[in-house]
Amino acid sequence: MSGPAQPSLGGATARVPAKVNLHLGVGPLRDDGYHELSTLFCALSLYDEVTVRAADELSVTVRGDNYREVPADASNLAAQAVLALARHAGIDDPSVAIEIDKAIPVAGGMAGGSADAAGALLAAARLWRLDLDRETLLDLAAGLGSDVPFALVGGTALGTGRGEKLLPVLQRGDFWWVIGAARTGLSTPEVYRELDRLRAERGEEASAPGRPDALMQALASGDVHAVAPLLHNDLQAAALSLQPLLRRTLRAGTESGALAGIVSGSGPSCVFLCEDEDAAINVATELSGSGVAKAVRTAHGPVPGARLVQPNHGSTR
Ligand code: C5P
């Protein structure tokens, strides 16, 4: 989780990947308002960059795709991360300028806000020259949101609890994906509520989510054709219920030659697993042409989690 030393002229920058859930099993609603999960996270090569600099007051600036939809104030999860770290370290004056360069779709089910929080934690820790161990960082991350620990860890991991308890998972090979970002975002709590509503409507009792053993074996084999039919998301029906047009996006991706397509996390981004890089470029070209998605990107994974980098690192896009 620590990166190369950088000459910090009053600032430190972290680069943080997006995630996709290769499997998302959702259990019953818990007393604390969260759902018990069994999920397989995979970090993809689509990155936000977060820079934290010393300043006279706390501020947040957001650049990049859909930056207007991201709160540029203390309610931003990256600002919450800096404040939580300052409290933990006993720093009285957490005045910093946070700059977020976004490439991860906003409110897209790809953990963009969590990525920014993870990046802010790492960058602020470097700026303030704090020597935090991995457990402390992961605890702080879990306090900020269910997906923040995974943004720090990256790779491929099994998430349980509310998604914050992580175990690394063996994935052979580098898989190529196409990401179709939707025109409007979805609120994560709303999608979970919709799943509960759909289950109640069907008289379904949610059971404890099981470990996706078959998918884990397929990932260990590195065979993308074995992995594709095992991708699964319990939240997909709820996301489709709230945004029915996503069905068209899923159909367009698979008709363009993707091996499989699913809604990512709570959506509405749709992600398509492809045979290789060439196939991903073809699928992305067709999906862009079909006009069903607002923005289309290719990415590969697994990639490492949050890392400190030189500011304005060239290879992030
Ligand atoms: O942890 P995070 O802040 O990202 O979660 C946002 C919301 O998503 C929660 O308040 C909850 O409504 C829902 N959620 C859930 N079960 C989870 C994770 C998130 O119900 N395991």
Residue entry with tokens 């991706």: 253
Using alpha carbons, list the distances in angstroms from residue 303 to 140, 258, 263: 22, 21, 20
Rounded to an integer, what distance in angstroms lies between the CA atom of residue 278 and that of residue 105?
Answer: 23
* Residue type, position 313, single letter: H
97, 63 Cβ separation under 8 angstroms:
no
Q: Is 253 in the pocket of ligand 1 (CB under 6 A)?
A: no
Distance CA 149, CA 117 (A): 10
Give ∠ CA 240-241-247 in degrees, rounded to 5: 30
Query: Atom 9 (ligand 1): residue with closest C-alpha?
Result: 189
Alpha-carbon 107 to chain mean position = 10
The pick from 32, 162, 165, 234 for probing ligand 1's pocket by mutation, whose C-beta has the most ligand atoms within 8 angstroms, reads 162
Amino acid at 120: A
CB atoms within 10 A of CB 257: 15
| pLDDT the model gives residue 313 | 52
174 given a catalytic annotation: no
Whether the CB of 229 sits within 6 Å of ligand 1? no
Residues 283, 309 contacting (CB under 8 angstroms): no
How open is the CA angle 11-4-72, to the nearest 5 degrees? Answer: 35
Is 147 among the residues known to form the active site? yes
Name the burial class of residue 92, with classes exposed (0-12), middle (13-18) and buried (19+) by CB atoms within 10 angstroms of its CB. exposed
Residue 79 near residue 73, CB atoms below 8 Å? yes
Of all protein residues, the one whose alpha carbon is nearest to atom 7 of ligand 1 is 189
Question: Catalytic one among 19, 48, 65, 116?
Answer: 19
Give the whole-angstrom CA distance, residue 19 versus residue 145. 14
Distance CA 232, CA 250 (A): 13
Residue found under tokens 């203390």: 74
Q: Is 175 in the pocket of ligand 1 (CB under 6 A)?
A: no
The Cα-based distances of 170 to 2, 173, 180, 300 in angstroms read 22, 10, 26, 16
Closest CA to 197 of 29, 25, 21, 23: 29
Binding site membership of 151 for ligand 1 (Cβ less than 6 Å): no
Instruction: Compute, in angstroms, the gap from residue 303 CA to the centroid of ligand 1.
Output: 24
Which positions of the chain have pLDDT values less than 70?
A: 1-9, 311-317
- CB 37 less than 6 A from any atom of ligand 1: yes
Nearest CA owner, ligand 1 atom 10:
189
Q: Is the CB of 145 under 6 A from ligand 1?
A: yes
- CB of 28 sitting under 6 A from ligand 1: no
Residue of the CA atom closest to atom 8 of ligand 1: 189
Report d(CA 208, CA 285) in Å as an integer.
Answer: 40
Contact at 8 Å (CB) between 96 and 58? yes
pLDDT for res 3: 37
Rounded distance between C-alpha atoms, residue 137 and residue 118, angstroms: 9
**Which tens digits make up the pLDDT trace of 195-210?**
999 999 999 999 999 9
Residue 30 alpha carbon to ligand 1 centre in Å: 11
Q: Interior CA angle at 207 toward 162 and 234, to 5°? A: 65
Which position among 65, 101, 116, 147 bears the catalytic label?
A: 147
**Helix/strand/coil (H, E, C) string of 201-250?**
HCCCCCCCCCCCHHHHHHHHHCCHHHHHHHCEECCHHHHHHHCCCHHHHH
Q: Which two tokens stand for residue 269?
A: 């981004």
Question: What is d(CA 157, CA 150) in angstroms, rounded to the nearest whole number?
Answer: 8
Pairing state between β 270-274 and 260-263: antiparallel
pLDDT of residue 312: 61
